[in-house]
Structure 1
Amino acid sequence: MRADRLVSLVLLLRQRGRLSATTLARELEVSTRTVLRDIDALSAAGVPVYAERGRHGGFALLPGFQTELTGLNHDEALALLVAGSRRGAQVFGLGSALASAMLKVVDALPEGHRDTAAGAARRLLIDPAIDLLSRREVAEELPDAVATEVRRAVFAGHKLRIHYAAVDQPPKWRTVDPIGLVTVRGQGYLLATRSGADRTYRLSRIRAAEELDEPARRPDRVDLDRAWRERGTRFRTGGDQVAVLVRLNPARREELVATALAVLAEETEVDGWLRLEVTFQDSRHAEWALWQLATDAEALAPRWLRTSLRDRAATIATRYGASSS
C-alpha cells in the first residue's frame, strides 16, 4: 500500500505542481508526518523532489521529470470499471483506488491532452454532496477492512463469514456463499446464499467480515441484474407489506410511486385526482409516506391508517394552537 501511495504522491506533484504537506496529506488521506516520511523515501530513491520554504512553499519535482509509473493495480482497474458511478466506488470501498487510478490515467496522457482533460474535468461536477435544497447525501459507512474482505470473497469464490446487524436485532455471526455486489442510489448490497437460500445483506450493516479458505457453493456464471430483479419482486410481494388505497393530487404521483414498493391499481377520478392502490414495507413506512404528501393525498383505507394520520395532525394542531412561552 505504501508503494501505491508513493506513486500517487509523485503523480500529484507532476500534475499539480507545488503542493503543501497539508494538501498532500488530505489528498492521500494520511497524516502530514506520513507525507514527510514519504518525501524522504522518494528523495532517497533518487526522485528529484525538493522543498520550497515560505508562506506559499511546499514540495515540487524538478522540471522535466518523467515517470513510467502508470501501471494500474487490480483495485485501481476495478475502480475504473465502476467509475461510471463514483458512489459505486465509494460504496464498495474503492474510493481511494479510484483516485489513485485516475491520477495514473491522467499522467499517461500526452502533455497537451492532459491539460485539455484537466480543464474539461473542472467543468463537470458528478454527484455533489448536497442537492439544490441543501439536502446532504447520506453516505454509507463501511470500514476499508470489511470492504476488502467482502470483495476478496466475492471475486475469489470463497465462503464469507460476516458479523451482521439486521434491523432491530443485535449483530450475529453467519457464514454465507457470496454471489455478487450491487449498489443502488449510494447503498451497497451483498447478494449471497445461506444454507442454499437466497439472502441479501446491506453492506453498511456488516460490522466485520472474514474471507474463508473454503470454496463457496455458487454457480460459475451469474446474471446479477436478473438476480436483483427477482429478489426485488420477492421483497415487494412478501413479508409484512401494507396495501393502501389513496386519493392523490396527480402532481404528486411520481413522489408517491418513488416511495411505495409497488402500484397495484390506478384510475383517474372525475375531478382529475388519482385513486391508487399501493403497497408499503410496513405500517410505519405507509404512515410516513402519506404524511409527507400532506393535503395532496388522502388515505382511504385501511381505517387504522386514516386514524393514525388524523391523530398525528390533531397533535400538531394542538401544539401550534397553544401560545408560545
Structure 2
Amino acid sequence: MKIDRLISILVILLRRERVQAKELAEMFEVSVRTILRDIDAINLAGIPIVTYQGVNGGIGIAEGYRLDRSILTEDEMAAIITTLKGVAETIPDHKHQVLLEKFKNTLSPTQLEMLNTKVNQLVIDLSPWGGNSLLKEKVVAVRKAIESLREIEFIYTDSTGKRTSRRVEPYSLVLKGQKLYLYAWCQLRRDFRLFKLARIKELVVLETAYKSREISLEQFPWESEWQKPENLVSLELVFEKEMESIVEEWFGEDTRMHEDGRMMVNVLLPENNWLYGFLLSFGTGVEVVSPPRIRTILAETSKEIYKKYTTET
C-alpha cells in the first residue's frame, strides 16, 4: 500500500542523512519515478525534502528543518513488529514479512539488537495449535477475492448444522475471539453477514466482479448483531470452587461468592448451539440456576451423551 511505503520512506530519511532514489526504488520494488512521486507527496505534507547532487548526493530532509527523529520510539517500533508478526502467523501475506524487513533496514546494528530484545518480551501467536493448512488456503483465496473485488461461492454450515449455498461479495477478514470470519454481503440474505471461515466449504473465487458498497467497520457492526436483545439470554450460573481460575478467565473477577466457596455469575449471552456447548464444556463444574429452559436443554443433552457412551456396540 502507498501509505506503508510513504511511512517507511520517511522513517528511512529520519534515520539516514541521505539516500539515493534508486536504492529506495529497489528496496520497495517500484520504479524511480514512483519514488519521486512519493517524495513529492511527503513534501506536500509539509516535510521539506532536498535532492543533493554529486558523488555523495541523494535525497534527504532539508538541513535546519527541525523534526523529531524519534517519530517512532523503540517501544512503538517493537509494538508494530510484534503485532505484524502475530498477524502474519494467522493471515499469511508476504507483504507482512517485507514490511518487517523494511522497518528493520532503517536501524543500525545496535538499535536492531535493542529492538529484538524488546520484541522478544511479548510474543503474539494467534494461530491454532498444530496449525491448519486448509484454513490458511481459504484465507489466501479470500484475500485475493477482496483485493480484486471478485464474488465468491461456497457451502456454509451454520451453528445448527444447516447447510446452504452462498454467493457473496467479500469485504473483510475478521479475527475475533481467536477465530477467523468473513464479513460479506450475502446475496441469499440480501444483507451483510459474518461467516466463520472454519464452516466454509467448497470455496470458489468467481470471475464476476462487484461494485464496492459503502460500509463503515469502525463500530464493528457484527457486535450489534451479537448484542441484539432478542438474541440474548440472562444466565445465572454457579461454579464449583475448584473452577475459580477458569471462571476468572472467562468472566473476570465480577463474581459473588457463596458461603461454601462456590461462585455465582450473572451474564448475558446469545442463546444458540454455541451457548449449550460452552456451558457443557465446564462439565460438572457449573450449574445453570436460571432460566429453567436452559437447564432442561442441558439435562436432555447430557442424557443423550450418556446414552451414546453407555450403549453397547
Give the TM-score band, short-chain normalised.
Answer: 0.5 to 0.7
Indicate whether 1:70 and 2:27 are aligned.
Answer: yes
AA partner of residue 97 (structure 1): K
2:299 and 2:235 mapped to 1: Cα distance? Answer: 13
Shift of 1:230: 1.6
1:283 and 1:142 mapped to 2: Cα distance? Answer: 23
Structure 1: give runs of 5+ residues left out of the alignment: 1-66, 74-79, 261-265, 320-325
Residue by residue, what CA displacement relative to the aligned partner does 1:162-182 show, whole Å, maximum 9, x if unpaired? Answer: 32332435573x322233221
Q: Where does 1:158-307 land on structure 2 (aligned, <5 Å)?
A: 158-167=149-158, 168=161, 172=165, 174-195=166-187, 196-206=190-200, 207-210=202-205, 212-216=207-211, 218-219=213-214, 221-234=215-228, 237-238=230-231, 244-249=235-240, 252=243, 255=246, 273-274=263-264, 276=266, 279=269, 281-282=271-272, 285-286=275-276, 289-290=279-280, 292=282, 294-295=284-285, 297-300=286-289, 301-302=292-293, 303-305=295-297, 307=299
Match of 1:126 in 2: 123
1:164 and 1:306 mapped to 2: Cα distance? Answer: 29
Match of 2:47 in 1: none
1:178 and 1:200 mapped to 2: Cα distance? Answer: 10
Of 106, 109, 123, which residue of structure 2 is paired with 1:108?
106
2:238 and 2:182 mapped to 1: Cα distance? Answer: 37
Shift of 1:183: 0.8
Contact 2:150 2:208 in 1 (8 A): yes
1:148 and 1:311 mapped to 2: Cα distance? Answer: 42
Return closer, same or farther for 1:213/1:286 CA change in 2, 3 Å cut-off: closer
Return closer, same or farther for 1:305/1:204 CA change in 2, 3 Å cut-off: closer
For the aligned residues, what is the CA RMSD? 4.7
AA partner of residue 217 (structure 2): D
| Residues paired across the two proteins, number | 229
Contact 1:70 1:108 in 2 (8 A): no
Which is further off, 210-219 or 251-260? Answer: 251-260
2:83 and 2:168 mapped to 1: Cα distance? Answer: 29
AA partner of residue 246 (structure 1): L
Residue by residue, what CA displacement relative to the aligned partner does 1:73-121 show, whole Å, maximum 9, x if unpaired? Answer: 8xxxxxx989626443343332x43234323332332343234434544
2:198 and 2:105 mapped to 1: Cα distance? Answer: 34
Return closer, same or farther for 1:271/1:159 CA change in 2, 3 Å cut-off: same
2:209 and 2:302 mapped to 1: Cα distance? Answer: 56
Match of 2:90 in 1: 91
User: Once the two structures are aligned, what percentage of the paired residues are identical?
Assistant: 13
Return closer, same or farther for 1:275/1:215 CA change in 2, 3 Å cut-off: closer
Contact 2:169 2:186 in 1 (8 A): yes
Structure 2: give runs of 5+ residues left out of the alignment: 1-22, 31-78
Shift of 1:222: 1.4
Match of 1:59 in 2: none
1:205 and 1:251 mapped to 2: Cα distance? Answer: 34
Return closer, same or farther for 1:92/1:250 CA change in 2, 3 Å cut-off: same
Shift of 1:199: 1.1
Residue by residue, what CA displacement relative to the aligned partner does 1:36-73 show, whole Å, maximum 9, x if unpaired? Answer: xxxxxxxxxxxxxxxxxxxxxxxxxxxxxxx8643278
Q: Tell me, what secondary structure is at the counterpart of 1:84? A: helix
